[in-house]
Amino acid sequence: AQKITQTQPGMFVQEKEAVTLDCTYDTSDPSYGLFWYKQPSSGEMIFLIYQGSYDQQNATEGRYSLNFQKARKSANLVISASQLGDSAMYFCAMREGTQGGRRALTFGSGTRLQVQP
């Protein structure tokens, strides 16, 4: 079974509008972390935002926010006020268990976002 599912292969959004990128996950571990990364055409994965399984509030980082619905096992990324530079691949990833940085990340298949002027 897929641990991370991103059902939108591609999305279009108009500049200055908000967009939501979907991510659902599957784990039986009560402790986990969810990440979103941006990958421009250059290839480097850029960390955007993190949500821990025990966090009570949805994470926010500037124009990025994470809509975390634990019971539904979803962790959607919301980008407000889209900019042309937001055009890229976006990956949702999960870390299971504790010991944070000593755990592997499992990635979804990604969503290609294109921002139109």
Partner 1 sequence: ETGVTQSPTHLIKTRGQQVTLRCSSQSGHNTVSWYQQALGQGPQFIFQYYREEENGRGNFPPRFSGLQFPNYSSELNVNALELDDSALYLCASSLGGADPKGTQYFGPGTRLTVL
Contacts of 56 (CB under 8 A, 6+ apart): none
Identify which of residues 43 and 117 has a Cβ nearer to partner 1 in the complex: 43
Minimum CB separation from partner 1 for residue 117, in Å?
26
Residue 64 interacts with partner 1 (CB under 8 A): yes or no: no
Q: By C-alpha distance, which of 24, 18, 19 is closest to 6?
A: 24
What's the half-sphere exposure (Cβ side, CA atoms, 13 Å) at 75?
A: 30
Q: Which residue, 50 or 64, has its beta carbon nearer to partner 1?
A: 50
Q: Which amino acid is at 50?
A: Y
Using CB under 8 A as the binding rule, whether residue 37 contacts partner 1 is answered as yes
Four-residue CA torsion sign, 70, 76, 77, 81: negative
11 near partner 1, rule: CB under 8 A? no
Residues that bind partner 1 (CB under 8 A): 4, 33, 35, 37, 42-47, 50, 52, 91, 93, 95, 98-110
